[in-house]
A and B are shown apart, each in its own frame.
Chain A
Amino acid sequence: MITSLLIGIFLLSLLVVTALAIVRASDLFSAVMLSGIYSLLMALNFFLLDAADVALTEAAVGAGVATVLQLAALRMAPATEARHRRARGLAVAVVVVSTLLMIYASFGQPTLGDPQAPPQQHVAPWYIEKTPELVDIPNIVSAVLASFRGYDTLGEVFVVLTAGIGVMFLLGGGRGKPFRGLDSQGEDGLQEHLILKVVARILIPFILLFGFFIQFHGEYSPGGGFQAGALLVAGLILYALIRGERRALAVIPPRVLLWLSAGGAFLYGSVGVAGMLLGGEFLNYSVLASDSIAGQHLGILVIELGVGMTVTGVLLSIFHAFAARD
């Protein structure tokens, strides 16, 4: 146990060092690359703290998709920070005092891994105990996400969709031509870099296959729609970077992307309404099949598919919206 504690302390210290480096870097490109490292370290920490699903998401989203989006934004904005401000005394004082207060407050917190800690006593044991009986899938995180707290997840999917709509409004080219500026570009991605091209060609099928595995095996192992969506997007972005925007949009046309984004959220909501029509409550999957457990399995499979579709569609549209702007 002491070993994993020490590994944790090592990783957390690296995390603080990386965060300081991000703040201090005046070259924004280095800041973005450092924040990729930061996300990867954070994912390792999550894994060490038994949160396999969260680690998977953070690695795919934080280290993969976020870094690419930040780089795409820097392509259009200046990549160095103007330096003309000294450290502000008041801000430093406020921050230092707050840090010390929080560290002082931490002495009232239960230590790491304490089984008697209040969060472990109240609601969680019920979910762990009832999951095999009511939902009967091995991954408790997926069960809570998709079934017990399905309402919450529906909200999250709509937040993702709304953010996608917002980005399309800000950077997109309007109706019929969602990714404007594409025609003026003649570039063919990174085709001429032979090593990148060969490595990517080997990697992409495996990333996509792993994405589909995570999508459809999410009830039995770490995974689910959110992680699968992020992984699929990472693979498709790699394709777009190597073969060029236009080729990538020929594989998955803009129209399909928009339908995927909205269709996933619609599919999720329809499952809820189907439950109502069959005599249950909104998002009650038990009535979807003759047997309550089979209904739960069906419901979870379909809404995870909806989540995966929306996340894939939205993140990929966002990437193209950034990349196609000149």
Chain B
Amino acid sequence: MKLLGLFNYWVFAVLLMIGLYTLISKQNLVKKMLALAIFQSAVFLFFITMSKIEGGTAPIFRAGAGEQVFSNPLPQVLILTAIVVGISTMALGLAIVVRLYEEYGTIEDDEILAMDRNA
């Protein structure tokens, strides 16, 4: 039972490292952006896991519900805004990828580096 309660952290660790591995080992820039999104969402999962309280509900007061247990609202606020900032940075990254493709004709970063060295 104690072990099952730690499963979320293990998934966090595995997802974080899948993202990191892809980021360092793949050459394709779009793939790198997707990996960055996985890395980022692993952190989101970690925060939201810490906000959960056994028997709690979403932190919204319900009229006439009496004493309620709420899950922690703070990590939720942080992650909510982080998701929107995440999509903005993703869009910026993809825009840079598109511009790179227009200039170099490839989105593999080793080929781009090779072209820069030969230029």
- Chain A positions within 8 Å of B, measured between CB atoms, are 1, 5, 8-9, 12-13, 15-16, 19-20, 22-23, 28, 31-32, 35, 38-39, 42, 45-46, 49-54, 57-58, 61-62, 65-66, 69-70, 72-74, 76-78, 81-82, 85, 87-88, 91-92, 95-96, 98-99, 102-103, 106-107, 109, 111-115, 117, 119-120, 123-124, 127-128, 131-132, 138-141, 144-145, 149, 152-153, 156, 159-160, 162-164, 166-167, 170-171, 220-222, 224, 226-227, 229-230, 311, 314-315, 318, 321-322, 325
Tell me whether A73 and B53 are in contact in the complex, defined as CB-CB below 8 angstroms, given that A57-B80, A62-B83, A107-B6 are known contacts: no
Decide if A50 touches B71 in the complex (CB within 8 Å). yes
Q: Which B-chain residue is minimally distant from A143 (CB atoms)? A: B73
Residues of A within 8 A of B17 (CB): 95-96, 98-99, 102
Q: A65-B87, A111-B5 are in contact. Are A51 and B31 (CB under 8 A)?
A: no
Decide: A138 near B61, CB < 8 A? Known: A28-B28, A99-B17: yes
Q: Which residues of A contact B15 (CB under 8 A)?
A: 15-16, 19
- Chain B residues whose C-beta falls within 8 Å of the C-beta of A144 in the assembled complex: 73-74, 77
Least distance between B68 CB and chain A CB atoms (Å)? 9
How many A-B residue pairs have C-beta atoms within 8 angstroms? Tell me: 297
**B contacts with A, residue count (CB < 8 A):** 86
Query: Dominant SS at the B interface?
Result: helix
The SS class assigned to the A binding surface is: helix
Assess whether B88 is in contact with A314, with CB atoms less than 8 Å apart: yes
Within 8 A of A (CB), among B1-18: 2, 4-18
Given the complex of chains A and B, what is the CA–CA distance between A57 and B77 in angstroms?
Answer: 11
Taking a contact as CB atoms under 8 Å apart, the answer to whether B52 and A38 are in contact is no
Q: Which residue of B lies closest to A114 (CB)?
A: B54
Inter-chain contacts of B8 with A (CB < 8 A): 8, 12, 112
Query: Which single member of A46, A61, A95, A322 contacts B95 (CB below 8 Å)?
Result: A322
15 A-B residue pairs with CB within 8 Å: A5-B4, A16-B15, A22-B34, A31-B34, A49-B51, A50-B53, A57-B80, A69-B87, A69-B94, A77-B97, A98-B13, A140-B60, A166-B95, A167-B91, A222-B60
Give A112 to B71 CA distance when docked, in angstroms. Answer: 11
Minimal Cβ-Cβ distance residue in B for A325? B98
Instruction: Give the docked Cα–Cα distance between A128 and B67 (Å).
Output: 12
A66 adjacent to B37 (CB under 8 Å): yes
Say yes or no: A113-B83 contact (C-beta < 8 A), given A124-B72, A141-B77, A318-B91.
no
Question: What separation, in Å, do the CA atoms of A68 and B76 have in the docked complex?
Answer: 25
Distance A112 CA – B11 CA, assembled complex (angstroms): 13
Q: In the A-B complex, list the 6 residue pairs whose CB atoms are closest, starting with the nearest.
A: A111-B5, A163-B88, A113-B54, A102-B13, A106-B9, A50-B71
Complex Cα–Cα for A69 and B96 (A): 13
**Is B22's CB under 8 angstroms from A123's CB?**
no
Q: In the docked arrangement, what's the CA distance between A230 and B85, Å?
A: 12
Do A106 and B6 form a contact, CB below 8 Å, given A52-B60, A160-B85, A314-B88?
yes
Chain B residues with CB under 8 A of A1: 54-55
B contact residues around A81 at 8 Å (CB): 26-28, 31, 108
